[in-house]
Chains A and B, each alone.
Chain A
């Protein structure tokens, strides 16, 4: 068979649209996931028994179920349970938020607790409240240690957006699927889709490498 570059050229606008949506879902989802992840991770590491139990339940619930079930639940079951309308894009972003949040929580907890205990005591002994010790002393150290694991999670989440094909979000994979259904050029289209993912994950990796390089791990 011969590889028709023109097929890719023609599909490019649609694929770009899909890639944009993929990036949007990943960015919005990861921003939310970072917030939830920090909250849940800190609750696990430093919270009282109640906060700890809530965070643990959340993490185990998410880690114990597939993301595709999570998004199906948000899109199809939540509207029935809560009597609200949920758009596919919103469901997709929510799914990334709750899913990435759980994994990020474990990353956050681990890296905060990996910082030598004596530093926390030294901060407290100066007369600071715990939150300031975490913010000014432990946080900056923990953050450096988090970067590789966070980067990993970012890449996983970015790729996970392709699963939202099941709820009809027009992200990259869905766009590829639709174009392919019309022109039957599987080789060209899926090659192009794969390239798009590679470019996105590659850019992410590069940014993380640079951030990591600028920060010494202490």
Chain B
């Protein structure tokens, strides 16, 4: 069974169709890299998966649960699909440790002690054990984003969604985030990543999807597509980002 299954999914904002009858299935373990011009619907596609956006047509099944199942079921999906945002969105009133412990404590309902212990493990995993007691405002962008990744992982998701995780970062801070993501991929985590980092797509991705105008225009093996883009618009797009 696929971990994510889009069945003719349509998403509209008002009169404008953003996702146009998208069919897509993603298997557990895949590392999907999603690219495309601005406004092509990449973020929207990602946000439909964890039901931050409601779909208007078709069906979307995540780990066996339809995003249309509502309430409690949608919250189950969100626990299975962790999300990392372009702007980090860390909780500013909490330290790094408290941010990461928040999910285990308030979502999984674990004890204060256990939540803290897991949070420390997660922070160590993203290389920030020594920053546990810092507030987000005291961390660099790259560190904040790694805390955000740890926060999502602490809920123990089966799938990770990344929406341009390095776009808000200075170039010299990007690699520390990408390295954490790569390590996660090597552990076998299923992930869908919206990014302009073509090196990451080539080295970590197992599948490259090029979106255009709310549709999936190209879907294939990253190395092949990047070396030899047959689709003219993909070719043009790649010339712009690289």
Contact = CB atoms under 8 A, between A and B. Distances in A.
Interface of A: 116, 118-119, 121-129, 132, 136-137, 140-141, 218
A125 B82 contact: yes
29 contacts: A116-B89, A118-B85, A119-B91, A121-B52, A121-B89, A122-B83, A122-B89, A122-B91, A122-B148, A123-B91, A124-B52, A125-B82, A125-B152, A126-B79, A126-B102, A126-B103, A126-B106, A126-B152, A127-B78, A127-B79, A127-B103, A128-B75, A129-B75, A132-B106, A136-B106, A141-B92, A218-B92, A218-B93, A218-B137
A116 B93 CA distance: 13
A22 to B, nearest CB: 36
A127 B76 contact: yes
Contact of B75 (A121, A127, A136, A141): A127
Nearest to B105: A136
Given A118-B85, A136-B106, A125 B91 contact: no
A124 B85 contact: no
B112 to A, nearest CB: 14
B52 A125 contact: yes
Interface of B: 50, 52, 75-79, 82-83, 85, 87, 89-93, 102-103, 106-107, 137, 148, 151-152, 155
Please give me the 10 A-B residue pairs with the lowest Cβ-Cβ distance, nearest first: A127-B79, A122-B89, A127-B78, A118-B89, A218-B92, A125-B83, A127-B75, A127-B107, A126-B103, A126-B107
A129 B74 CA distance: 10
A123 B102 CA distance: 9
Nearest to B71: A129
A174 B175 CA distance: 72
A126 B92 contact: no
Nearest to A123: B91
Contacts of A125: 50, 52, 78, 82-83, 152
Contacts of B107: 126-128
A44 to B, nearest CB: 22
Contacts of B106: 126, 128, 132, 136
A157 B88 CA distance: 41
A64 to B, nearest CB: 33
A101 to B, nearest CB: 27
A137 B102 CA distance: 10
A141 B93 contact: yes
A76 to B, nearest CB: 47
Nearest to B135: A218
Contacts of A123: 91
A127 B155 contact: yes
A128 B106 CA distance: 8
A97 B214 CA distance: 52
Contacts of A126: 78-79, 82, 102-103, 106-107, 151-152, 155
Contacts of B52: 121, 124-125
A106 to B, nearest CB: 23
A129 B137 CA distance: 26
A140 B78 contact: no
Contacts of B103: 126-127
Given A121-B85, A126-B102, A128-B75, 14 more contacts: A116-B89, A119-B92, A125-B52, A126-B78, A126-B79, A126-B151, A127-B76, A127-B77, A127-B79, A127-B107, A128-B106, A129-B75, A136-B106, A218-B137
A217 B107 CA distance: 26
Nearest to B78: A127
A125 B77 CA distance: 9
A116 B86 CA distance: 14
Nearest to B79: A127
Nearest to B83: A125
Interface centre among A122, A136, A140 (most CB of B within 10 A): A122
Nearest to B50: A125
A155 to B, nearest CB: 27
